[in-house]
């Protein structure tokens, strides 16, 4: 019973608004770093990827950044062993000539459910992302007229100028969706 109540609390922890549904008709081009990760190593892997991403940015390896500025964190290619590809990168205008240590990926044109996530600290952000994902899969999606279209990616976080706001920092969590 205690486990059930804990799970129920986590599901109901999401306090945001319903998602905005949008369709993008052109790919979002991303250049950054990537790594295969899993539930056991994700925290260590994210720290390593963040360092690699900061290093690539400090060396100005990521060129042709799109304006206005934004970076994304992408989760894709989940398998039955609970591992997936994790990408951190800048949104770019084009992919021409990039260092071999970098990963290029295009977020495909599709319909997306976009959830706005506010946070007060990085730790709080991680918890809020987790709560939003639980809400999407367990509460919103089953009662919507959509299905999760994870053929190209599972989800991505969009970080832009709003995440730097001192009073009300915010990111967006995008889920690709399709109608039944």
pLDDT at 11: 44
* More confident position, 126 or 97: 126
What would the DSSP string read from start to end of the chain? -HHHHHHHHHHTT--SPPPEEEEE-SPEEEEEEEEEEETTTHHHHHHHHHHHHHHHHHTT-S-SB-SS-EEEEEEE---TTSEEEEEEEEEBS---S--TTSEEEEEPSEEEEEEEEE-SSHHHHHHHHHHHHHHIIIIIGGGSSEEE--SS-SEEEEEEGGGG-SSS-EEEEEEEEEE-
Residue of 115, 103, 94, 93 whose CA lies nearest to 17: 115
pLDDT at 3: 42
pLDDT in tens, 109-133: 999 999 999 998 877 898 999 999 9
Task: Please give the average per-residue pLDDT across 138-166, as a whole number.
Answer: 95
Distance of CA 96 to the CA centre of its chain: 24
CB atoms within 10 A of CB 56: 21
pLDDT in tens, 18-57: 899 999 999 999 999 999 999 999 999 999 999 999 999 9
CB 176 within 8 A of CB 152: yes
Task: Quickly state the pLDDT bin for 96 (edges 50, 70, 90).
Answer: confident
pLDDT at 15: 66
Task: Please give the average per-residue pLDDT across 54-83, as a whole number.
Answer: 93
Distance of CA 137 to the CA centre of its chain: 15
pLDDT at 8 over 60: no
Q: Are strands 155-160 and 170-179 parallel, antiparallel or unpaired?
A: antiparallel
């Amino acid at each position: 019973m205690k486990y059930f109540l804990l799970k129920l609390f986590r599901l109901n922890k999401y306090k945001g608004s319903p998602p905005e549904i949008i369709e993008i008709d052109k790919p979002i081009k991303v250049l950054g770093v990537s790594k295969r990760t899993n539930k056991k190593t994700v925290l260590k892997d994210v720290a390593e990827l963040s360092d690699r991403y900061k290093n690539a940015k400090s060396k100005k390896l990521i060129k042709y950044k799109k304006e206005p500025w934004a970076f994304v964190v992408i989760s894709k290619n989940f398998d039955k062993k609970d591992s997936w590809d994790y990408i951190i990168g800048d949104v770019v205008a084009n992919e021409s000539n990039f260092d071999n240590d970098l990963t290029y990926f295009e977020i495909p044109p599709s319909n997306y459910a976009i959830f706005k996530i506010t946070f007060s600290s990085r730790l709080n952000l991680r918890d809020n992302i987790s709560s939003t994902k639980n809400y999407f899969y367990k509460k919103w999606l089953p009662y919507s007229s959509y299905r999760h279209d994870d053929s190209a990616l599972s989800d991505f976080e969009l970080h832009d100028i709003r995440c730097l706001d001192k009073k009300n920092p915010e990111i967006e969590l995008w889920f690709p969706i399709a109608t039944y």
